[in-house]
């Protein structure tokens, strides 16, 4: 149920101005009311903007509504410094990531906006060592099969001619395979955790919503001193394997597609500078 407490409403009209579904109607010479509450997308703008507590939406209990402590908000300068300092630090160690840090990274990702507040993004955290090894083995296995195809005599010259950039990557793929044989995990950058951000495969805004969540999580990880690396090899490998096989390897719902994957770990050291970009 959505309603406006007429006794508490001060007719400021803010709820009307922020509602994307045009549900509140607030006019100075009339009692405030709501129209077509059934089209509410549950974004909470109405409840969060109301200073007097007059706007009531049963999707949000009183316990779920929090007053913003603006003294804790970063200044534009400090936020920009965090953005500039964020790097893909691949010097990941075996030191475990504090659970409190993982919880905050996940919460930051959950607070990312989604198209029409659809909230179809799901987060899956992989920390089990066997599961991490399974992702690494599947990824390196895919790319080694690809490398062998690119070097096979029947298509080698075609690959060099039409797939030059990909063909040039073959030596690097073999080098990564050698690292894997030595017990390292090059495609996941030796990460001790993987954050898989997925959405239903037929959802039109899956890529946008998942990468918004990724950005939130990445900045939170940076603020906590946790390395975060975009898993490009894993992302491509899982895409080429197909949704069903990738979902089994990653442990996500079968009808979901992983649109963003983040490697996490504690770095051996931190960068001291940033360069212009």
Structure tokens at 255: 């009808």
Which residues are CB-contacts of 205 (< 8 A; sequence separation ≥ 6)? Answer: 114, 115, 118, 199
H helical segments located in 96-152:
99-110, 129-151
DSSP letters spanning 205-240? THHHHHHHHHHHHHHHHHHTT-EEEE-HHHHHHHHH
Q: What is the CATH number of the domain that holds 19?
A: 3.30.70.20
100 found inside a domain: yes
Over residues 29-58, the pLDDT tens digits come to 889 989 999 999 999 999 999 999 999 999
Tell whether 32 and 128 lie within a shared domain.
no
CA distance 254 to 83: 35
> What is residue 71's predicted lDDT score, i.e. its pLDDT?
95
69 found inside a domain: no
Tell whether 17 and 95 lie within a shared domain.
no
> What is residue 199's predicted lDDT score, i.e. its pLDDT?
97
Tell whether 133 and 43 lie within a shared domain.
no
Tell whether 111 and 226 lie within a shared domain.
yes
Tell whether 185 and 92 lie within a shared domain.
yes
Q: Which of 44, 64, 84 is the last residue of a domain?
A: 64
Residue matched to tokens 């109607």: 25
Tell whether 26 and 151 lie within a shared domain.
no
> What is residue 152's predicted lDDT score, i.e. its pLDDT?
61
Q: Which of 64, 86, 118 is the last residue of a domain?
A: 64
Tell whether 162 and 270 lie within a shared domain.
yes
Q: Which of 27, 45, 64 is the last residue of a domain?
A: 64
> What is residue 162's predicted lDDT score, i.e. its pLDDT?
46
Q: Domain residues for 36?
A: 2-64
> What is residue 30's predicted lDDT score, i.e. its pLDDT?
85
The DSSP 8-state label assigned to residue 127 in this structure reads: -
> 29-46 burial by CB neighbour count: b if 16+ within 10 A, else e?
eeebebeeeeebbebbbb
Which residues are CB-contacts of 50 (< 8 A; sequence separation ≥ 6)? Answer: 14, 15
SS3 268: coil
> What is residue 105's predicted lDDT score, i.e. its pLDDT?
98
Per-10-residue mean pLDDT of the chain, 277 residues long, equals 92 93 88 92 93 92 92 96 94 97 98 95 98 96 80 57 58 87 95 98 96 98 97 92 94 96 97 92
H helical segments located in the chain:
14-18, 45-49, 76-85, 99-110, 129-151, 153-162, 164-168, 170-181, 206-223, 232-241, 243-250
SS3 34: strand
């Amino acid at each position: 149920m959505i309603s406006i407490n007429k006794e508490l409403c001060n007719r400021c009209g803010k709820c009307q101005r922020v509602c994307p579904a045009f549900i509140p109607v607030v006019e100075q010479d009339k009692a405030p009311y709501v129209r077509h509450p059934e089209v509410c997308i549950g974004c909470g703008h109405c409840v969060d903007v109301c200073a007097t507590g007059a706007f009531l939406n049963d999707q949000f209990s009183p316990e779920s509504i929090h007053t913003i402590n603006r003294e804790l908000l970063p200044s534009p300068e400090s936020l920009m410094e965090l953005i500039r300092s964020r790097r893909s630090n691949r010097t990941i160690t075996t030191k475990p990531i504090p659970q409190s840090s993982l919880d905050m990274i996940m919460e930051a990702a959950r607070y990312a906006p989604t198209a029409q507040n659809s909230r179809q993004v799901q987060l899956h955290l992989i920390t089990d060592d066997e599961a991490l090894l399974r992702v690494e083995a599947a990824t390196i296995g895919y790319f080694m099969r690809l490398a062998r195809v690119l070097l096979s005599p029947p298509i080698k010259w075609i690959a060099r001619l039409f797939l030059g950039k990909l063909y040039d990557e073959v030596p690097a793929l073999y080098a990564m395979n050698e690292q894997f044989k030595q017990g390292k995990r090059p495609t996941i950058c030796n990460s001790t955790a993987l954050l898989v951000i997925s959405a239903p495969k037929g959802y039109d805004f899956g890529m946008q919503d998942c990468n918004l969540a990724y950005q939130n999580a990445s900045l939170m990880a940076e603020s906590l001193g946790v390395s975060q690396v975009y898993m490009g090899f894993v992302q491509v490998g899982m895409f080429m394997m197909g949704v069903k096989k990738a979902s089994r390897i990653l442990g996500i719902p079968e009808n979901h597609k992983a649109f963003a994957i983040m490697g996490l770990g504690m770095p051996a050291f931190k960068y001291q500078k940033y360069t212009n970009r």
